Structure 1
Amino acid sequence: MEDDVDDVQPSHIPPPTNSNTTFCTCAVAPLPPYASRDIELAETHANESGGLLYSANANAVALSNPPTLTYASKLSSKRGLRAIVIFIICMFLLVLHLRAESAKKKRHQLIHDGLAWADITPSKRCLRYGTREYSAQLMGVPRGEHGLRWCKEKEITIHGIDFEKPGYCTVDRDYSVPTKRRFYGHWTVESNEPSCKTLWENFQDKGCVAKGSMRRRIEAHMGNHQPPWDNWREMCSTTPADYDGHHFDQPDSCDHRVRGIGTLWLA
């Protein structure tokens, strides 16, 4: 009987009490019945879509490709492509320009090399002391080209002196053939022209200009003058003289006399 009594456990024995322990007899709310099912569906959907899970709160997750960044990237790409296209077009135009300039220079050189001066002729008259004008006809100007422009660019050699271009150019028109024109260049040559070198001869000392003036009047006659072509004033005013150890670049005055050209120095 004692064994039976010992084996019998009370149906309810209150737990030991402890002043430091607090017990809550409220019931714990169970999980929503749909939570586990939703998780399973989400996992299945994630496996099928490549492992991407999306939050139920869209505002709490930052977008991986914001619209502003995508627009800026596209805009930058368009600008870069546009710059490349513009650069290619500019380079293409530059190449065309350089080729055109090269072809133009070659054509210019070919025409220039084909030009020549013919019939180099000295003028009958002297321009001034030791100076004469020469002229020549320009040959080889292609049809349709500007002859005067080519005339001003063609060089020549006269008396061993090189002239890069004429002093001026003229056009001689053949009115019987309106399209036929002849172009002439003109040069001023100041060397090796002995017929243009006038000189002074028969010097005469006329004494003092005035009492106490300390200046003497010297007169002479101009020789090697070639009328009627030479301009006597130009020749007289540019002819130098050497007299009594003095050099004069030009006379003080010139006179046209019956016996020729006279001049005056005040020395």
Structure 2
Amino acid sequence: MSHRHRHFPSCYGLLHILIFSFRRPSTPYTDQPDQSEYSSHGDTSNRKRIVTLYGDQTLQPHWPPVEPPASYEPSETDSLLARNGHRKAFTNVRLIAYYAAGFLAIVFIGFNVVMHFTNCSPYPWTMRDIRMGWQNERKEREEEQHQERVRKRWEEEAQRHKHALEKVIEKIDEEEKRQERVRERWEEESERRKQALEKDIERRKREEEQHKEQVRKAWETEADKHRQELQERIRRETEQMDSQRRKWQREIDEHDRLAEERRKHEEEERQKLNMFWGHVEAHQCTTYATREYTAVLMNLPVTWEHRVEACKATALEVHGISYLPKSCEDKGPGVVLGRWDINQNQPDCTTFWTSYKDKASLIETELTLVIACLLLPQGCTSQKSGKRRIEHYMDNLPSGGDWKEFCATTPASFLNMHFIGAQECFQYNLGTYGQWEIDDSNC
């Protein structure tokens, strides 16, 4: 039911109730029949009509007295007349009660009339509510119609999709059947090909075995022939090599004989000329315990052609020990200069190591030393390296000597180990230091 239909019956029903409530009898009378009698004779048509107009709402107002019917006449036997003056006073009290009840009914009905008139159609806000209700109902109806159309389209689409799906399924079934037939034919063809391939493999295997047998026999024949040729070639080459070796040996023997004859001849000539070393000079130390010497070969003829050979064959005696020259320098006719590096542990040329220290690989600064002490064991090159670094100071370095040569040739012994020289050399604060890295399981 719309908003309009809900409000209109209430308004007009209350109007009818108000009209009938204000109806009064034309000639009031004080004597009225008993309630039970009157209820049996009264007219209830107005009440039924008001209830019908009001709708399904229940209303029980306090009904005012109504006129008795025309056929009604009081009788002598009436209970109201039979009573005395006490009955008359009670009638007045009851009349006052009726008026009070009627007044309350009028107030109640008036309040309801005012409240219901505010909801009736003549008011703008009531019309606005009704209009909004109609619009909402129209929107709901349009939404229902739209949903119905969408549902119908969806059902049609679902039906079309179902038909299309059935067709696709039919095509898939047909494709599967076709593939099954193709697979069966392929299996049959594969079986035939497999049998033919096995036969072909067996045939090729037999042919290959026969070919291998033929090749093996040919290879054995060729190998025997090649072995014989190789043995013959080796025999000829061996004979040629033996012949060449004998020839080389004869040449070597001849060369040695000529060289020996020439040496003897030169020795005889040198002894006849009494060649010796003069102007012997001792120079600075070159390496550990080694000093350089130079001398000039004396009594050397100007026309002597083998001056360098004579230099190399003439020994120089130093402190009772003879030494052949390390090198000979031909200065021209009659002048040959010899050079020696003689190691006789001379004190001036003997350096030695002092100030044994375990050293880490870090530079010695205050910060790095603290880090080394915290992170690395003393003297280890790095953590878990298995290497320890040892440092020595080299003392008694000759003035003008090459500190690198002396560092590399000065022997050192420590921790039951011996070294011919330092593994690493450097100078620091005008001093020469040597370092060694040795294996140590504690690092």
TM-score of the pair, normalised by structure 2: 0.33
Q: What is aligned with 2:317?
A: 157
Question: 1:106 and 1:192, CA in 2 relative to 1: closer, same or farther beyond 3 A?
Answer: same
- Which AA in structure 1 matches 2:358? D
- Given that residues 357 and 390 in structure 2 are in contact (C-alpha distance below 8 angstroms), is that contact kept between their aligned partners in structure 1? yes
Deviations 1:122-142 (A, max 9, x none): 221x22222222111111012
SS of 1:247's equivalent in the other structure is strand
Partner of 2:268: 109
Query: 2 CA distance for matches of 1:208 and 1:104?
Result: 60
Partner of 1:184: 337
Q: CA deviation at 1:265?
A: 1.3
Q: Which residue of 2 aligns with 1:129?
A: 288
Structure 1: runs of 5 or more not aligned = 1-100, 174-178
Cα separation, 2, equivalents of 1:130 and 1:103: 37
Q: State how far apart, in whole Å, the 2-side matches of 1:104 and 1:222 are.
A: 47
What SS class does the counterpart of residue 208 from structure 1 fall into?
A: coil
In 2, Cα distance between equivalents of 1:130 and 1:160: 17
Matched residue count: 158
Cα gap change, 1:102 to 1:223, in 2 (>3 Å): closer
Q: 2:411 — aligned with what?
A: 240
Match of 1:210 in 2: 382
Note the C-alpha offset of 1:261.
0.8
The structure where helix makes up a greater share of residues is 2
1:255 aligns with one of 394, 413, 426: 426
Distance 1:226 1:172 in 2: 30
Once the two structures are TM-superposed, the CA of residue 108 in structure 1 deviates from its matched residue by 4.7
Q: Distance in 1 between matches of 2:427 and 2:297?
A: 40
The residue identity in structure 1 corresponding to 2:436 is: W
Which aligned runs of 4 or more in structure 1 are off by greater than 4 angstroms? 101-108
2:286–2:405 contact (8 Å) kept in structure 1: yes
Does the 8 A contact of 1:152 with 1:169 survive in 2?
yes
Larger CA Rg, structure 1 vs 2: 2
Q: Percent identity?
A: 32
Displacement of 1:104: 9.9
1:112–1:154: 8 Å Cα contact kept in structure 2?
no
Pair 1:107–1:211, CA change in 2 (3 A): closer
Amino acid paired to 2:298: M
**Partner residue of 1:138 out of 293, 297, 302:** 297
Name the counterpart of 2:436. 265
Q: Give the Cα–Cα distance (whole angstroms) in 1 for the partners of residues 415 and 432 of structure 2.
A: 21
What CA distance in whole angstroms lies between the structure 1 residues aligned with 2:346 and 2:415? 27
Q: In the aligned structure 1, how far is the partner of 2:420 from the partner of 2:267? A: 45
How far 1:106 moved relative to its partner? Answer: 5.8
Contact 2:422 2:436 in 1 (8 A): yes
Q: Please state whether the residue corresponding to 1:152 is helix, strand or coil.
A: helix
Do the aligned partners of residues 123 and 107 (structure 1) sit closer, same or farther apart at CA in structure 2, a change above 3 Å counting?
closer
> Do the aligned partners of 2:300 and 2:335 also contact (CA within 8 Å) in 1?
no
Shift of 1:258: 2.1
Deviation at 1:254, TM superposition (A): 0.6
**Equivalent residue for 2:398?**
226
Per-residue deviation, residues 47-89 of structure 1 (Å, max 9, x unmatched): xxxxxxxxxxxxxxxxxxxxxxxxxxxxxxxxxxxxxxxxxxx
Q: CA deviation at 1:264?
A: 1.0
| Structure 2, gaps ≥5 residues long | 1-259, 360-378, 439-443
CA deviations 1:216-241 (Å, max 9, x no partner) are 2211211111232x111111111111
Structure 1 residue 190: Cα displacement: 2.0
Contact map agreement 2:275 2:298 (CA 8 A) in 1: yes
Matches within 5 A, 1:37-116: 108-113=267-272, 114-116=274-276
What does residue range 13-28 of structure 1 map to in structure 2 within 5 Å?
A: none
The one-letter code of the counterpart of 1:190 is N
RMSD: 2.7
Q: What is the CA–CA distance in structure 1 between the aligned matches of 2:383 and 2:262, rounded to whole Å? A: 78
Report the secondary structure of 2:283's partner residue. strand
- Note the C-alpha offset of 1:184: 1.4
Give the secondary-structure state (helix, strand or coil) at the position aligned to 1:203: strand
Partner of 1:83: none
Q: Structure 1 residue 208: deviation in Å?
A: 1.4
Question: Of the candidates 338, 354, 357, which is equivalent to residue 201 of structure 1?
Answer: 354
| SS of aligned partner of 2:313 | coil
Residue deviations 1:100-152 (CA, integer Å, cap 9, x gap): x999956751433510111222221x222222221111110123113333212
What is the TM-score when the length of structure 1 is the normalising length?
0.52
